[in-house]
C-alpha cells in the first residue's frame, strides 16, 4: 500500500510537470520587435484578449533585452522608455512576446524613427576632402554629398550619420573638376523632409580637360568623371578615368558629360 501511494504521488508529479511544460510550450509563440532610436517618446500597445479567454495576448516585454516592469495585463499598455536613461539618438529595441492566435499592435510604430534631420553647423572643402559638422542628430541616417556638375546636382558621396545629439564631425573624399567646384550635403528623414547645408566652394586652376573620339574609344586629357547618354536620355556609361571603350555602342549620336563640360559625338 505504501508503494502504491508513492507510485501515485510520483505519477501526479509527472502529470503536473507535463502540464507545466505544455503551458510554456503554448505560451512561447511569437515575438513582435520594434527597433529604432530614442526620440523622447514611449511605446503604446493595444493588447487583445488571449484566444483562450484567459489573460491577454502579450505576456512579456523587453527593452534592449531587459524585462520591463510595466503593467502589461490590460487591453492597452505603455512601455515607458524614460526610465532607462536613454538620450535622443540611442539605439532601442522593444520586443513583445505574445501567445498563439493573437497579435498585439504597436499604436505608434514611428516613435523610434528619426523625426527631424540634423542641423548643419559648418562645411568646407580643401585638397579633395569635404568636411562638415552637425548638431541635433536624432538618429543614424545617411548624409548625401552632392556636387554641382553639368547643370545639375550629382551625388558624389555618402556617409552614415553618427546619430548622437551632440556636435559631430565628418569628412568625405571628393573628386574635383577644373574651375569652380560647388558641394553641399543633404539629409532626409523618415518623413521625406530634407535639409541642406550651405555650399562649399573650391577653385581648381588646372587646364580644362579635353577629349578625343575614335571608332572604338574616347580618350580624355586627364582623369575625369564622365557620363554618356543616348539620344533618348538613357545612360549607357558612367565612371571615372581617362579612357572609355565605346566599341560596343550602336551607331548614332550620343551626349557626353565630363569634367565641368558637356559635349556630344557620333558613333560611326
Q: Per-residue pLDDT tens for 26-50?
A: 334 589 999 998 988 999 999 999 8
Closest CA relative to residue 123, chosen from 206, 202, 225: 202
- Against a cut of 0.75, is the pTM above it? no
pLDDT along the chain (268 residues), means of 10: 46 39 42 92 94 89 94 94 90 94 92 86 96 92 95 95 91 96 93 91 95 94 96 93 94 95 92
pLDDT at 29 (0 to 100):
56
Domains and CATH numbers, the chain: 20-112 (no CATH), 119-204 (2.60.40.10), 211-267 (no CATH)
pLDDT at 126 (0 to 100):
94
- Kindly report, residue by residue over 113-125, the tens digit of the pLDDT: 887 788 999 999 9
Three-state SS for the chain is: CHHHHHHHHHHHHHHHHHHHHHHHHHHCCEEEEEEEECCCCCEEEECCECCCCCCECEEEEEECCEECCCCCCCCEEEECCHHHCCCCCCEEEEEEEECCCCCCEECCHHHHCCCCCCEEEEEEEECCEEEEEEECCCCCCEEEEEEEECCEEEEEEEEECCCCCCCEEEEEECCCCCEEEEEEEEEECCCCCEEECCCEEEEECCCCCCEEECCCEEEEEEEEEEEEECCCCCEEEEEEEEEEECCCCCCEEEEEEECCEEEEEEEC
pLDDT at 133 (0 to 100):
97
Q: Is the dihedral of CA 173, 177, 179, 180 positive or negative?
A: negative
- Kindly report, residue by residue over 51-63, the tens digit of the pLDDT: 888 889 999 999 9
Amino acid at each position: 500500500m505504501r508503494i502504491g501511494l508513492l507510485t501515485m504521488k510520483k505519477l501526479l508529479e509527472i502529470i503536473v510537470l507535463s502540464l507545466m511544460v505544455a503551458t510554456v510550450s503554448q505560451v512561447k509563440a511569437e515575438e513582435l520587435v520594434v527597433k529604432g532610436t530614442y526620440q523622447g517618446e514611449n511605446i503604446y500597445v493595444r493588447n487583445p484578449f488571449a484566444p483562450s479567454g484567459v489573460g491577454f495576448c502579450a505576456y512579456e516585454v523587453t527593452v534592449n533585452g531587459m524585462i520591463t516592469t510595466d503593467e502589461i495585463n490590460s487591453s492597452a499598455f505603455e512601455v515607458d522608455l524614460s526610465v532607462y536613461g536613454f538620450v535622443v539618438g540611442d539605439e532601442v529595441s522593444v520586443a513583445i512576446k505574445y501567445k498563439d492566435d493573437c497579435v498585439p499592435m504597436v499604436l505608434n510604430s514611428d516613435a523610434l524613427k528619426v523625426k527631424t534631420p540634423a542641423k548643419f553647423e559648418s562645411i568646407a572643402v580643401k585638397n579633395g576632402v569635404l568636411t562638415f559638422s552637425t548638431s541635433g542628430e536624432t538618429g543614424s541616417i545617411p548624409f548625401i554629398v552632392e556636387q554641382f556638375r553639368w547643370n545639375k546636382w550629382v551625388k558624389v558621396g555618402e556617409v552614415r550619420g553618427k546619430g548622437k545629439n551632440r556636435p559631430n564631425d565628418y569628412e568625405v573624399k571628393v573628386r574635383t573638376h577644373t574651375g569652380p567646384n560647388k558641394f553641399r550635403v543633404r539629409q532626409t528623414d523618415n518623413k521625406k523632409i530634407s535639409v541642406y547645408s550651405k555650399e562649399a566652394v573650391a577653385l581648381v586652376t588646372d587646364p580644362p580637360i579635353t577629349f578625343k573620339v575614335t571608332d572604338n574609344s574616347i580618350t580624355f586629357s586627364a582623369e575625369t568623371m564622365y557620363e554618356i547618354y543616348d539620344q533618348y536620355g538613357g545612360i549607357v556609361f558612367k565612371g571615372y578615368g581617362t579612357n572609355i571603350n565605346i566599341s560596343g555602342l550602336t551607331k548614332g549620336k550620343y551626349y557626353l558629360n565630363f569634367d565641368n563640360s558637356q559635349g556630344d559625338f557620333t558613333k560611326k
